[in-house]
Structure 1
């Protein structure tokens, strides 16, 4: 039943008609429990609250797979405006960007030009920008962009997904760039040709990547709600005397709130991944697919209106 539920919500996440309807609804039906708002300005009070509680934040403007240069330009300007707002309000937050929203599928020259603009602006205020990872067909295009940018900018990181077979080699290839990596399991529906299908193997590979990245001496973000992964990381850093300022735990806004607070109280850096934007529907459906218990958020949203 859980597998059927996952396939159902993944199917909905790609439904353009429903996505169009969702934009008219606004972030209702429980999405406001997982999304910071439809605009960055709407998210500012929530970011401020999270900062006051001791959490760091990374914000992500929702939207991907853009094939219109006009929409790309709008996304770039929106990102730059968000960076200006972060600096103006003194928020403790980074920015995550999806390269397909910034022109990756149009041309590499375009996405490089846009990332240069964004990173230059972010660098002025000491803001880090992370290149989100997308589906496997775009994985190495994203890493190629990262490598080029990393030669010029220190304030850029990227993401490695443990369910992909190539991730171990990718971490080795990135080692020369002293990378800031967010390590995740992966959320796209990938085939057995490119990705592990068994949870046990995905988890084992994530642990392997965490150990490799940390022992390589590079800053590491462990993005997982899985307590087994978190406990493994805590044991690893204690065993190898890795200081707490060399890693952080990242979790999605609205998920495992108690665990987030417990880690914060123990002195660990906890960063909340806070998405915002009108294109909330696909993101929301993927979260429901990952964890059917999240359906309760949707029901609560409907009946609280």
Structure 2
């Protein structure tokens, strides 16, 4: 039943008609519980509040699969504006972005141009940028662009997904780049030819990736709400005396709030992934697909309005 539910919401996440309706009617359907607003200005008070609670943040202007050059450049300018605002308001925040929003499906040259402009501004203000990982068909291109840009800019991270067979090999290949990596399970629907078909396999691979990257001495963001993964990491860092400035836990805004607060009290670094923007629909559907509990959470949001 869980697999059926996941496939259903992943299917809805790609429905263009529902996406248009979502933009028209806004975040009233419970999405405002997990999205920081439709503009970065709306998200600033939330970031300030999270910072006061001891939580760091990474913000993501929602939107992907851009196929118009002018729109891709607009997305890049939005990232630059966000970086400038982070500096202006002295927010403890990084920026996450998707390469398809910067023109990956249009041309590689356009992506490099947009990334150069963004990273130059980020370097000037001391803001870290993370390239989000998308579906497996774009994984190789994403990692190639990351490696090219990482050779020029140190304030750059990317994401590796444990449900892909290739991921441990990717960690080995990236090791020489002194990478800052966010390790996640993955939220896209993938073929059994490229991804582990069972949850336990995905979980076991994530544990292996966390151990490998930490023991390689690379900064590691463990992005999971799974108590078993969190406990595994705690035991691992204690066993190997890994200092807290070499890793952090990451969780989604609006999810596991008490767990986030507890980790902060225990002395761990915790970063909240805070998305914003009008294109919230696909992100929202993928969150519903990840955990059946999120469906009840969303329904509560609808009827509490």
TM-score by length of 2: 0.99
Q: Kindly indicate whether residue 80 of structure 2 is the aligned counterpart of residue 86 of structure 1.
A: no
CA shift digits 1:182-241 (9 cap, x unpaired): 000111001110000111111111111111100110100000001111111111111111
Provide the residue aligned with 1:65 in structure 2: 65
**Contact map agreement 1:59 1:273 (CA 8 A) in 2:** yes
> Per-residue displacement from partner, 1:15-34 (whole Å, max 9, x unpaired)?
00000000011111100001
Secondary structure at the counterpart of residue 115 of structure 1: helix
Contact kept? 1:161, 1:184, Cα under 8 Å:
yes
**When the two structures are aligned, how many residues end up with a matched partner?**
305
Gaps of 5+ in 1: none
The match for 2:281 is 281
Q: Which position in structure 2 is the counterpart of 1:44?
A: 44
Q: What root-mean-square deviation, in Å, do the aligned CA atoms of Structure 1 and Structure 2 show?
A: 0.8
Quote the offset at 1:9 in angstroms: 1.1
CA distance in 1, matches of 2:43, 2:53: 16
1:268 CA drift (Å): 0.1
Q: Please, which moves more after superposition, 119-128 or 293-302?
A: 293-302
CA offsets per residue over residues 89-115 of structure 1, 9 Å max, x none?
000000000000001111111101100
CA distance in 2, matches of 1:78, 1:257: 28
1:70 shift after superposition? 1.4
Q: CA deviation at 1:289?
A: 1.1
Find the counterpart in structure 1 of residue 136 from structure 2.
136
Match of 2:256 in 1: 256
Who is 1:192 aligned against?
A: 192
User: For residues 129-166 of structure 1, what are the alpha-carbon distances to aligned partners after superposition, in whole Å with 9 as ceiling and x for unaligned?
Assistant: 00000000000100000000011000000000011011
What is the 5 A alignment of 1:172-211? 172-211=172-211
Residue 3 of structure 1 aligns with which residue? 3
Give the CA deviation at 1:78. Answer: 0.8
Does structure 2 retain, via aligned residues, the 8 Å contact 1:9–1:286? yes
Deviations 1:233-282 (A, max 9, x none): 11111111100110000000111111111111100000000001100011
Q: Corresponding residue for 1:15?
A: 15
TM-score using structure 1 length: 0.99
| 1:230 paired residue number | 230
Cα distance between partner residues in 2 of 1:65 and 1:153? 25
SS in structure 1 of the partner of residue 71 of structure 2: helix
* Matches of 1:150 and 1:165, distance apart in 2: 24
Q: CA deviation at 1:298?
A: 2.3
Specify the alignment match of 1:156 in structure 2: 156
- For the 8 Å contact 1:31–1:297, the answer to whether it is kept is no
Shift of 1:7: 1.5
Q: Where has structure 1 moved over 6 Å in runs of 4 or more? A: none
Aligned with 2:273: secondary structure? strand
Gapped runs of 5+ residues in structure 2? none
Q: CA deviation at 1:2?
A: 2.1
Shift of 1:3: 2.1
For 2:251 and 2:159, locate their aligned partners in 1 and report how far apart those are by CA, in whole Å. Answer: 14
Aligned partners of 1:298 and 1:158: how far apart in 2? 29
Q: In the aligned structure 1, how far is the partner of 2:269 from the partner of 2:63?
A: 28
